[in-house]
Amino acid sequence: MAAKVDDKTSDIPERLYDSTNNKTYKRMRFFGKGGFAKCYEIIDVVTNDVYAGKIVSKKLMMKHNQKEKMTQEITIHRSLNHTNIVKFHGFFEDNFNIYIVLELCKKRSMMELHKRRKTITEYECRYYIYQIIQGVKYLHDNRIIHRDLKLGNLFLNDMLHVKIGDFGLATRIEYEGERKKTLCGTPNYIAPEILTKKGHSYEVDIWSIGCVMYTLLVGQPPFETKTLKDTYSKIKKCDYRVPSYLRKSAADMVISMLQSNPESRPTIGELLNFEFLSSSPVPMFLPSSCLTMAPRLELNETMDHENAHRKPLTELNGIKDDTRLESTFLKNNLHDAITASAQVCRHNEDYRSDIESLYQQLTNLINAKPRLLQGNLGDENTDPAAQPLFWISKWVDYSDKYGFGYQLCDEGIGVMFNDTTKLILLPNQINVHFIDKDGKESYMTTTDYSKALDKKMKLLSYFKRYMTEHLVKAGANNVNFESDQISRMPHLHSWFRTTCAVVMHLTNGTVQLNFSDHMKIILCPRMSAITYMDHEKNFRTYRFSTILQHGCSKDLYQKMRYAHEKLSKMLEKMFF
Beta-sheet strands, E only, within 76-181: 88-93, 97-102, 144-145, 154-156, 162-164, 171-172
User: How far is residue 439's CA from residue 435's CA, in Å, rounded to a whole number?
Assistant: 5
Whole-Å CA distances, 157 to 87, 110, 308, 410: 11, 11, 37, 17
User: How far is residue 439's CA from residue 347's CA, in Å, rounded to a whole number?
Assistant: 10
- C-beta atoms surrounding 28 within 10 Å: 14
- Burial code (b: 16+ CB inside 10 Å, e: under 16) for 228-245 equals eeebbebbeeeebebeee
Q: Residue 198's closest CA among 262, 265, 139?
A: 262
- Burial code (b: 16+ CB inside 10 Å, e: under 16) for 443-473 equals bbeeeebeeebeebbebbeebbeebbeeeee
Say which DSSP state 525 is in.
T
Given a contact cutoff of 8 angstroms between Cβ atoms, the answer to whether 246 and 254 are in contact is: yes
Active site residue 148: yes
Cα angle: 267, vertex 268, 269; to 5 degrees? 90
Query: Can you name the residues that pair with 145 across neighbouring β-strands?
Result: 171
User: How far is residue 71's CA from residue 67's CA, in Å, rounded to a whole number?
Assistant: 6
User: How far is residue 191's CA from residue 150's CA, in Å, rounded to a whole number?
Assistant: 12
DSSP, collapsed to helix, strand or coil, labels residue 185 as coil
Q: Mind giving me the DSSP string for 301-320? A: THHHHTTPPP--GGGGGGGT
Q: What is the identity of the amino acid at 326? A: E
User: How far is residue 126's CA from residue 121's CA, in Å, rounded to a whole number?
Assistant: 9
Is 356 exposed, middle or buried (CB count within 10 Å of its CB: 0-12, 13-18, 19+)? Answer: middle
Please tell me which residue in 11, 44, 148, 448 is annotated as part of the active site. Answer: 148
Residues whose CB is less than 8 angstroms from the CB of residue 490 and which lie 6 or more positions away in sequence, other chains included: 289, 292, 293, 390, 408, 506, 507, 508, 510
Q: Residue 499's closest CA among 574, 399, 566, 450?
A: 566
* H or E segment to which residue 359 belongs: helix 331-367
Given a contact cutoff of 8 angstroms between Cβ atoms, the answer to whether 299 and 310 are in contact is: yes
Q: For residue 275, which phi and psi values (nearest 5 degrees)?
A: -55, -35
Is 72 exposed, middle or buried (CB count within 10 Å of its CB: 0-12, 13-18, 19+)? Answer: middle
Say which DSSP state 188 is in.
G
**Which sequence positions are flagged as catalytic?**
148
